[in-house]
Structure 1
Amino acid sequence: MVKGRVSENDFNKIFEGNPNIDFKQIEDSNIRISNIRVKNKYGEKLLGKKMGYYSTLELPKLTYYDVEMMDKISSIFGRVLKEFITMDSSKTALVVGLGNWNVTSDSLGPKVISKLFVTRHLKEFMPKYIEDDISSVCAISPGVLGTTGIETSEIVKSLVNKIKPDYVLCVDSLAARKVSRLNTTIQVGSTGINPGAGVNNHRIPLNEETLGVPVIGIGIPTVVDSLTIVSDSVNLILDTIIKDIDESYIEKNLLGERQRMDMIRKTLSISMGEMIVAPKDVDSVIESMSKMIAMGINIALHPNLDMDKLNKFIDLK
């Protein structure tokens, strides 16, 4: 598996001519967009991802304090999302905001729902008062199993059976695999999403197999477990110490990054337990990130409306 930030040249060298994976990387407004298509089972083994299409937007640091950059990201994210779906006025999309309203770091999904331009009820009950070229969009924040006593997949499946949407978009907070990814990436995938998987609380997945319609997973890493922080710190220290040591010595005498991480986890997991950590400014981060994600979704689901019109509709909510 390729880990960490890999340049386009490095990635292309690794997978050049590989029939199992397509990879493309572009830069736009200081935002790096990586697109990967896993084409078959061999590609799945190579990258550890299911067959499908994936996009990752790597954002500049402190994006959530820059209003102008937030607008750019919303626009770019909306454009990226259009590569996963094709909406028009005849189609319906259901947006699901996963997570817990009462836990700030896990409230991304519900906050996104509160900022969406939902229209299904207007098109159904007030068609004279809404433009014909506006798409049908509905949304729900189903809560979490501990609060509702109902599996999220059961709630969403029931809605899909009733509403029969063309697409389901699931938004969730993720757990970062590297500290550097925390609050700096937007991840999109055509293979759906596994609620709770990031904190080892695996629930029934939401994907095309379980729901019967295309499911797009959207997430931002908002927390990181304590062992990842320790592992990244130890690796950084070791890499600094050994950077001038002969490479052959390193290969013979020092563990690789994957082995180091496994060793650290085995050593510390018993004493430290499962601790999930969020940055101190998580409330500001979630508020800003939810605005960017919501506007990007609005742009993708209502392709006939520009950002100014969408902002006006949202301001009325």
Structure 2
Amino acid sequence: MFQARTDLAIEAREIYEQKNKGHIKDIELDKEEKDNYSVTRVKILNAYGEKRLGKSVGTYITIDVPALKNADQDLKDEISQAMAKELKALIKPNKHTKSLVVGLGNWNITPDALGPKVIDKVYVTRHLFKAYNKTEDEDMTSVSAISPGVMGITGIETSETIKGIVEKTKPDIVIAVDALASRKMERVSTTIQITDAGISPGSGIGNERKALNKETLGVPVYAIGIPTVVDAATMVNDTMELIIESLKNQADKGTEFYSMLEEMESQDKYQLIKEVLTPYMPNVVVTPKEIDELISNLSLIVANGINIALHHGIDLKDVNRYIN
């Protein structure tokens, strides 16, 4: 059966509860509504919840911003601050925290370039701490950053590169930034996910590499991601559901045709999609046409959030002056 591709825990939960017509007892959910955005916290408590959602045990924070695609500077700043607040609450950094920020993805492919673009804007300071032999500062913490590329470019597994850097530089935490996949077009470029459960690079597009988490790297790994693509097959499925709903509205209740539409199972639709798409485009993802501008804006929002969260003496005025 066709499986909807998504990296978002909030969507995995929605899909599971829709399919099983009920709430998952092994998952905690909390939602907070703001004027311009909402924050949803999904906490997977144990192995049962992990198995049901296909996501590792941990906390997944989703910031939904419907207007993010057309955000003005005020909204960008507001979301950077919201992201910094959630990241701080998750990491709980102090003046001595040493961080490694990793920009995952392929800088040659725009929808996959979020991580490398963020690295360009992260305020790195580890070299200054080393040069002045300092362990703390009144405004900054020690931050290093790397964009390791993808195996198709480097010939090296991303996890191997990051593990070597972690062993050599000994950070207290790793923050990985990556482009994600969503199952809903409306969440593409409008949703930010933050988690303490690490990340499996490329999982959303069916190219899963070795996970980056505490078990593989030896230090806590926090992941930040924004969906930049949606699977073509999920778009076809959603379109079919809209068509079926429209036909139901036009059909007379009680007729054989209406009953057929009413009883059509999701599995039937998925199977039909699989049979139709496989010969032509079995592994296609879709991204907005304005993705270049979106990645530029989103990378700035994420980088500002990271800079504010990690550097205790830096605020929005400082990061906006530092980043062009």
**Percentage identity across aligned positions?**
43
Between the aligned partners of 2:48 and 2:282, the Cα distance in structure 1 is 35
1:150-299 aligned within 5 A: 150-242=156-248, 249=259, 253-256=263-266, 259-299=268-308
User: How many Å apart are 1:173 and its aligned residue?
Assistant: 0.8
SS of 1:83's partner is: helix
Going from structure 1 to structure 2, the CA distance change for 1:89 and 1:25 (only over 3 Å counts) comes to same
Asked whether 1:304 is paired with 2:313, we answer: yes
Distance 2:224 2:271 in 1: 28
Q: CA deviation at 1:14?
A: 4.7
Q: Does 1:313 align with 2:322?
A: yes
The letter of the residue matching 2:232 is S
Q: CA deviation at 1:251?
A: 9.0
User: In structure 1, what is the equivalent of residue 146 of structure 2?
Assistant: 140
User: Residue type matched to 2:265 in 1?
Assistant: L
Q: Find runs of 4+ consecutive structure 1 residues off by over 4 angstroms.
A: 243-252
Deviations 1:123-163 (A, max 9, x none): 110358x9434111110000111111111101000011011
Q: Structure 1 CA distance, aligned partners of 2:272 and 2:95?
A: 54
Partner of 2:27: 21
Per-residue Cα deviation, 1:17-62 (whole angstroms, up to 9, x for no partner):
x3x2211000123211100111112222333322110011111235
Distance 1:64 1:139 in 2: 29
* Distance of 2:250 and 2:87 partners within structure 1: 44
CA contact (8 A) 1:169 1:218 kept: yes
CA contact (8 A) 2:198 2:211 kept: yes
Q: Identify the residue that residue 68 of structure 1 maps to in structure 2.
A: 74
- Secondary structure at the aligned position of 1:160 is classed as helix
Distance of 2:130 and 2:311 partners within structure 1: 17
Q: Which range is displaced more, 239-248 or 160-169?
A: 239-248
Cα distance between partner residues in 2 of 1:62 and 1:82: 22
Task: Give a deviation string over 1:280-317, Cα, whole Å, max 9, x none.
Answer: 100000000000010011111113322212333335xx
Give 3-state SS (helix, strand or coil) of 1:240's partner: helix
Matching of residues 119-130 of structure 1 within 5 Å = 119-126=125-132
Q: Distance in 2 between matches of 1:35 and 1:155?
A: 31
TM-score (norm 1): 0.88
Taking only aligned residues, the RMSD between alpha carbons, in angstroms, comes to 2.6
The DSSP-based 3-state class of the residue aligned with 2:89 is coil
Matched residues in 2 for 1:38 and 1:259: separation? 30
Report the more deviating stretch, 138-147 or 184-193: 184-193
- In structure 1, how many angstroms separate the alpha carbons of the residues matched to 2:52 and 2:84? 29
Contact 2:244/2:261 (<8 A) preserved:
no
- Please say if residues 224 and 277 of structure 1, whose CA atoms lie closer than 8 Å, have aligned partners that are also in contact: yes
Distance 2:32 2:52 in 1: 22
Residue 197 of structure 1, CA deviation? 1.3
- Find out whether 1:3 has 2:14 as its counterpart: yes
Q: Do the aligned partners of 1:195 and 1:205 also contact (CA within 8 Å) in 2? A: yes
Q: Which sections of structure 2, spanning at least 5 residues, go unmatched?
A: 1-11
Question: In the alignment, is residue 101 of structure 1 matched against residue 101 of structure 2?
Answer: no
Give the 3-state SS of the residue equivalent to 1:192 in structure 2.
Answer: coil
1:250 Cα deviation from its structure 2 partner: 7.0
Whole-angstrom distance in 1 between the partners of 2:165 and 2:70: 33
| 8 Å CA contact 1:194, 1:203 repeated in 2 | yes
Q: 1:167, 1:213 within 8 Å by CA — same for their partners in 2?
A: yes
The 2-side partners of 1:283 and 1:296 are apart by 20
Residues paired across the two proteins, number: 306
Q: For structure 1, which segment, 226-235 or 164-173, has the greater mean C-alpha deviation from structure 2 after superposition?
A: 226-235
Q: Which runs of 5+ in 1 are unaligned?
A: none
Which sits farther off after the overlay, 108-117 or 274-283?
274-283
1:15, CA displacement in angstroms?
3.8
Which of 86, 94, 104 aligns to 1:88? It is 94
